[in-house]
Structure 1
Amino acid sequence: MTDPHIAVVGSGSLARSVCYSLAALASPAPATPIRVTVLARGSAASDIAGVCQIRAAVTGGGVTFAAESLHDEVDAMARLQPDVLVCCASAQSPYERTTAPSAWTSLIARAGFGATLPLQATLIVRLARAVAQASPRTLVVNGCFPDVVNPLLTALKAPVTCGIGNVSTLAACLQAAIGLPDQDHLAVLGHHVHLSAPGHPDDEALAWYEGQPLPDVTGLLRAARAMDRRELNGIAGHAAARLLLALVTGAEVRTSLPGPLGLPGGYPVTVADGSVTLRLPPGVTRADAVAWNLRVGRDDGVEVVDGRVSHSPRAIDALAPYLPELAAGWPVAALDEVTERLTELRQRLRLAPAASVVAPGTGAT
């Protein structure tokens, strides 16, 4: 039997947070040492692995870190055969609107973050397909817009166990806000959209403690929502590390996760023996929870239902002047073509200032 092995794809703030927390949470040394391989392009992977190896040594952890440059996903999965693969990298940064504003980021602001779905999905789809082909026992965990990307993966018949971040971050913030030692009796229904306060109180995330509705979720989340979004990655990564360790060791953890079992949005779950099951509060059925997540998630501008990607009226209005045939929706099988079209549009709009977004009905220039 080989040591439990986690592969982390990416070198951005979420990937770093996950790895830093793995170095700390696996201490003191577990009975079975845990291996972590950081997969990224360039020197970033070795930098992250080096820092984490030192951190693990300082805290006395039983986790070791290695680095590889990611070029061929199938080859990497065939060689590494990780127990868990977690993807923390995508083709579109959520922070571009602040780091490099342009007509592209203005378009996304009008359409909703969901308009970037193909760019969020392209790498994790390749990785999931590589797992299916070369390492089918590997559990796939997605950190890139899992509330909608995971249903897309399922529609493509690509493997995915669950996501990280989003509702997991919200659950951690609620746990801290009410002073709980764990989330064993805390259940949260929440979507990516709930990282910000909803426009209407009826659309707020839902939470239960010991089976009873938790009052004033908005107030409890106010301080966390006021943080810089990148700071929340520190919370998301820490919660993700705990999840990953549970998946590779078989430990039981009760928490809330985005996209479990390929479902849209986020749900309370139990993680045990390397699997994830829903842990819904009394009176809430799976159908109820899915329908609620689809409804509130429309504020992101996109949903995946019955093998088709659909956009909200807001997203359609924003995208139609540029990509009218895609704005009306597209089958999941067209992902590669849609990604290419959207990438071409992004390249063009990035050259224009942020104010240069076509208003609905005026036509694209």
Structure 2
Amino acid sequence: MWSIVLSTFQRSGHSIVVVGSGRLARSLCRSLASQLGSASVSVLARDGAAAAQLARASAVVARVSGTSTVFDGFALDDAEEVLVRVRPEVVVCCASEQSPYEKRTQPTRWTELIGRCGFGLTLPLQARIAARLARVLSRVSPETLLVNGCFPDAVNPLLHALGLRVLCGIGNVATLAACLQAALNLPGQRELAVLAHHAHLDGPREPDQEARAWLAGSPMPTVTGLLAGYRALPRQELNDLAGHAAARLLADLLRGEAAHTSVPGPLGLPGGYPVLVQDGQIRLNLPAGVSQAQAVEWNTRAGERDGISVRDGHVGYTPGAAEELARYLPDIAAGWPAEALDEVGDQLLSLRHQLRLAQPAAA
């Protein structure tokens, strides 16, 4: 077990567990270090040394920021032991079995297949660690809230179909809402409502495919123009913004303060919605004239840009994605029930291994 604790500060205040040591987890931890005040944050990662390093760096940020937040790090294999001992108020999953940056850093036939099918192809690999955490929490710490940062627009509906509790997600629509808040120079998001899916991190192919936003209850017609400069930022920068916005959400959640914001996957719904978070609970805060059924259907259709949909506990692919996937895994291409998550994940890992060994096609 790897651990780093600044012994001059004792554990006190709120308790959070962050799972992961990648870009999103790093941004989240460093933002929590400056926003929480008195709290303890335990970092869990498959590489225990990486968890300890992240904890050490975040502790420095906390000291410089003048907060008494304490950080320590552990291997993910020790998750159940840590959760039993710490009894965190919130667990944030920022770890998955598939990096979103692989297509940029190590392009292979596998990343080419993702490009042709859509990011939704990786859904099982985004979901399995979050599902395992949800199962452990239901057994050893059922009062703990689970927040998922890995493709929550589709993963959270899948977890919900499996009967696993997840409060909401972070990133995606929350990042876009934060960017709109900055573009409009708003002090907060009380008057801002955003309806958007993970697919909207990129600009739309057609104007009618754009994210929807309302200011003080009135539809905003200029979303594309307002978001253009932010969408042009490197994706790693957007991940940093997502971590900072998530830290603010968690701080409000732990303090019991009302937070008007937009989040992905609330209540296990597909896509992202405007919400009110308060006292550990979450409810939709849709503009007048927009029903929950309408918002869910709109987000489900928007998610097809990722090549996938999750409806009534069943995962399906768009025709183009299914055709591409059928060349390798025809049974999966036909769709699969939520209960097949682990089996489908194993088949995708096997396919990934094969395709990573193949040279990418010539440009």
**Match among 199, 206, 218 for residue 212 of structure 1:** 218
Distance, in Å, in 1 between the alignment partners of 2:307 and 2:93 is 23
**Match among 83, 87, 90 for residue 84 of structure 1:** 90
| Residue identity matched to 2:314 | R
Q: What do the CA deviations read for 1:113-149 (whole angstroms, capped 9, x no partner)? A: 0000000001000001111111000000000000000
Structure 2 counterparts to residues 1-365 of structure 1, below 5 A: 3-26=13-36, 29=37, 33-40=38-45, 41-355=47-361
Q: Cα gap change, 1:80/1:11 in structure 2, threshold over 3 Å: closer, same or farther?
A: same
Structure 1 residue aligned with 2:6: none
In 2, are the aligned partners of 1:36 and 1:66 still within 8 Å (CA)?
Answer: yes
In 1, are the aligned partners of 2:213 and 2:223 still within 8 Å (CA)?
Answer: yes
| Residue identity matched to 1:6 | I
Distance, in Å, in 1 between the alignment partners of 2:80 and 2:56 is 25
Distance, in Å, in 1 between the alignment partners of 2:185 and 2:13 is 35
Q: Which runs of 5+ in 1 are unaligned?
A: 358-365
Distance, in Å, in 2 between the alignment partners of 1:287 and 1:25 is 36
Tell me the percent identity: 56
Give SS of 1:350's match. Answer: helix
| Residue identity matched to 1:89 | A
In 1, are the aligned partners of 2:203 and 2:231 still within 8 Å (CA)?
Answer: yes
Give SS of 1:281's match. Answer: coil
Tell me how far 1:67 sits from its aligned partner: 1.4
Give SS of 2:77's match. Answer: coil
Distance, in Å, in 1 between the alignment partners of 2:79 and 2:347 is 23
Worse overlay, 274-283 or 74-83: 74-83
In 2, are the aligned partners of 1:117 and 1:148 still within 8 Å (CA)?
Answer: yes
Q: What do the CA deviations read for 1:12-33 (whole angstroms, capped 9, x no partner)? A: 000000001011123xx4xxx2
In 2, are the aligned partners of 1:171 and 1:256 still within 8 Å (CA)?
Answer: yes
Tell me how far 1:61 sits from its aligned partner: 1.0
Tell me how far 1:74 sits from its aligned partner: 3.1
| Residue identity matched to 1:169 | T
In 1, are the aligned partners of 2:48 and 2:73 still within 8 Å (CA)?
Answer: no
Tell me how far 1:80 sits from its aligned partner: 2.1
In 1, are the aligned partners of 2:317 and 2:334 still within 8 Å (CA)?
Answer: yes
Give SS of 2:357's match. Answer: coil
Distance, in Å, in 2 between the alignment partners of 1:249 and 1:2 is 14
Q: Which runs of 5+ in 2 are unaligned?
A: 1-10
Tell me how far 1:276 sits from its aligned partner: 1.1
Distance, in Å, in 2 between the alignment partners of 1:170 and 1:50 is 30
Distance, in Å, in 1 between the alignment partners of 2:355 and 2:343 is 19
Tell me how far 1:235 sits from its aligned partner: 0.5
Distance, in Å, in 2 between the alignment partners of 1:356 and 1:77 is 48
Q: What do the CA deviations read for 1:30-50 (whole angstroms, capped 9, x no partner)? A: xxx211111112311111111
Give SS of 2:253's match. Answer: helix
Distance, in Å, in 1 between the alignment partners of 2:86 and 2:127 is 22
In 2, are the aligned partners of 1:73 and 1:126 still within 8 Å (CA)?
Answer: no
In 1, are the aligned partners of 2:253 and 2:259 still within 8 Å (CA)?
Answer: no
TM-score normalized with structure 2 length? 0.95
| Residue identity matched to 1:149 | V
Tell me how far 1:203 sits from its aligned partner: 0.8
Tell me how far 1:57 sits from its aligned partner: 0.9
In 2, are the aligned partners of 1:246 and 1:274 still within 8 Å (CA)?
Answer: no
Aligned length: 352
Distance, in Å, in 1 between the alignment partners of 2:275 and 2:291 is 13
Tell me how far 1:232 sits from its aligned partner: 0.5
Tell me how far 1:2 sits from its aligned partner: 6.6
Q: What do the CA deviations read for 1:159-203 (whole angstroms, capped 9, x no partner)? A: 100000000000000000111111010000000000000111101
TM-score normalized with structure 1 length? 0.94
Worse overlay, 321-330 or 52-61: 52-61
Tell me how far 1:78 sits from its aligned partner: 2.0
Tell me how far 1:234 sits from its aligned partner: 1.1
Tell me how far 1:3 sits from its aligned partner: 2.7
In 2, are the aligned partners of 1:153 and 1:160 still within 8 Å (CA)?
Answer: yes
Structure 1 residue aligned with 2:4: none
